[in-house]
Amino acid sequence: MKLYHWRASPHACKVLAVAKYLDLFEKTEEVPMHPWEVDSPLTGISPIGKVPVLIKEDGEPVFDSDVICLYLAQRAKAESGADKGLYPEGDALFTALRQQVVASSIKESAVLCIVEEHARPRTLQSHDWIDRQRARVASCLLFLEDHAHELDAAAPTIGDFSVVMALAYLNYRFPSYVWHPEHPKLTLWYEQMLRHLFVAQSLPMEVHTFPVAMVKLEK
């Protein structure tokens, strides 16, 4: 399998952590590709032009990150015969999928803020837009704190993987945004998740600066 990804992308980091957890990372060739480059070859790989994209052995692309994780979980189960419980049964599945949606909202809003602040000329930046994204992040964090009992670092589901990368991305991109004191239960769970090597070794990191060509997004 080939994984087109970018290490600063929280969506890509989630896939990396899941692949490691499921012992499928060794079967995955990593292909770094910056998603914001103008004329990026990504659009020829996936119609949505976003990372991550997984290319299966038969050449078929799998996207987006949520679908890739589901694919990996099914593949791991088929290959090993064991189910690590990433997608539990019954009500627990809907809890996990709800966590996944809340985490995706945090990731998407955080990425939108970064792009607004880094890709747009200052004169075109919208503070209302940025405030709207920040408010969404704040309400999602509050929801997760109120439902922290549904998170489980000892037996992580796809919800746990989604949330941990959303929080890691906030820490990474917005280090001055100190969300921890107001979300003590979430913080405790987050610290437990970080103790897993498959999480700690997949955290968002910068291996690339924003491409100069991003200014062309304005044209």
Least Å distance, CB 210 to ligand GSH, is: 12
Of the candidates 32, 38, 39, the one whose C-alpha atom is nearest the C-alpha of residue 12 is 32
- Sign of CA pseudo-dihedral 83, 25, 154, 163: negative
Site for ligand GSH in 94-113 (CB under 6 A): 111
Of the candidates 206, 215, 175, the one whose C-alpha atom is nearest the C-alpha of residue 34 is 206
32 vs 184, which CB is nearer to ligand GSH? 32
44 vs 90, which CB is nearer to ligand GSH? 44
- Sole window of 19-27, 60-68, 129-137, 188-196 interacting with ligand GSH (rule: CB under 6 A): 60-68
74 vs 80, which CB is nearer to ligand GSH? 74
Q: How far apart are CA 74 and CA 56, in angstroms?
A: 13
Residue 204 CB contacts under 8 Å (≥ 6 apart), including other chains? 7, 8, 9, 10, 13, 165, 168, 169, 172, 173
Site for ligand GSH in 16-55 (CB under 6 A): 35-36, 49-52
C-beta of residue 65 within 8 angstroms of C-beta of residue 54: no
Pick from 4, 5, 9, 196: which binds ligand GSH (CB under 6 A)?
Answer: 9
Position 173 contacts ligand GSH (CB under 6 A): no
In Å, how far are 21, 41, 101, 121 from 104, measured between CA atoms? 20, 24, 5, 26
Least Å distance, CB 81 to ligand GSH, is: 28
- Sole window of 64-72, 83-91, 92-100, 119-127 interacting with ligand GSH (rule: CB under 6 A): 64-72
Which positions touch ligand GSH (CB under 6 A)?
9, 11, 35-36, 49-52, 64-66, 111
